[in-house]
Structure 1
Amino acid sequence: MSSKPSFYPGEATSCAEAAAQWSARLHSGRFTPGDEQALEEWLQADPENEREFLAVEQLSSLASTLDKDLVSSLYGGAVPVRPDLRRRKLIRNTGALVAVAGSAGLASLLLSPQAVYAASLQTRVGERRWIPLPDGSSLELNTGTQAELRFYEDSRHLDLLQGEIMFSVASNPQRPFIIKAGTIQICVTGTSFTVRRDAEQVRVLVESGSVEVSSGRWWNRQTRYLAAGSGATISPEAGLNIQADVDVAAATAWRQGRLIVRDMILSDVVAEINRYREQPIRIAEAKISQQRVTASFLLDEQSAVLQALQQILPLRAQTQADGSVILLGTL
């Protein structure tokens, strides 16, 4: 059997129309291995592709459970027969179906249930915030964090866009707390843990209780369970890696205004310190970037951080006119 795709949306097709075509192809009974590879490449090409595709899949799945008369009334007439993928009318028909369903309120009804509580959360660079929630849970936001929070009758959701949050989740087995960070999902019913998202890399550390971590695309998803004192790092390159024994207290010392590093190379230490600075520290010479550091820094006293670095290592900190700092070797 050929591995080449037997189907692929045209270049002029919009993201929404392409998602509808891919969904129709997936359920047509003619989905080939080549199609699967082409779909994966299309999904990975743009985050918007995946969002549109998952929305169409959810819409299709949930619409199938509704009363046919309700679907017909929302559509505005008799629902047309699903178009044949071999016909050129596919783009117009599937696009119209999604558009009409959206205008009639079906997409909103199915994909956006009414939240009983919603909030947009953020912190500036260097800022930390503690936020109590109406269910008895609380969040501690670290520097430069952005998140969207939505509570529903039967579930609690947080989308972590960037940054780091310490979660203290009030136990409620009937109302799970679900955190999404890119393609990563963490599900708990009540526990204490931290989630950090740096671009496409996500790190989860469990202080107490246990959490369920899932990663990967929907067709190749991995799920692992983390107990207290363990953690996981997830990235597109390395996948999901479990750390069985993690110093959670040291990793979350930022909650007390400290950065604790143990046997880290200077370049990694500087990267951590820069998370809390408006103007960055730069290392001028590659030869000093691999020096190893073990120290505890006060995050709110950046001048003390620079002073401590110069005491620990043979370095000289040179402050620039814009507030940035260059580290030079003294040997």
Structure 2
Amino acid sequence: MNADHPATGAILLAGSQAFRQWLERDPENQRAYDAAEQLLGDARTAIKSDPALESFKAKSARSRKTVTSGLLGLTIVAGLFLYLDGPMRLQADVISGVAELPVIELDDGSTVHMNAECGIRNRSRLFQPGQAHSPAARRGLL
């Protein structure tokens, strides 16, 4: 609340008037207020008399901000991981780059022609995006 703003003074005045009316409405309200004032006064005295508490500075609650920024960072990292084909890169044995067209030889001697940006796992399973082609022999030639 801005103490220099004209409305602030009106709000404080209205609040203090309402508070005084509440105190006057019931004697029990005044007794409760007096007891709270005494407790606060006792607490202030106790804090001032204890050197360890006198220099204590309360930390502001930043847990919500910390959690929110942590979740935002995690979301950004996860988005980049998926955008950069992270799952394919973790599972593939062979990965072709953006402008690469690799030809790899499988364990059985056959070859696979891979298009750009694809991966093969266990030299048999193709991961998207991309394509892989394997030349086949004609039946009568073998």
* TM-score normalised to structure 1 length: 0.13
* Greater RCO (Cα-Cα under 8 Å, separation 6 or more): 2
* TM-score normalised to structure 2 length: 0.29
Higher Cα Rg: structure 1 or 2?
2
Higher helix share: 2
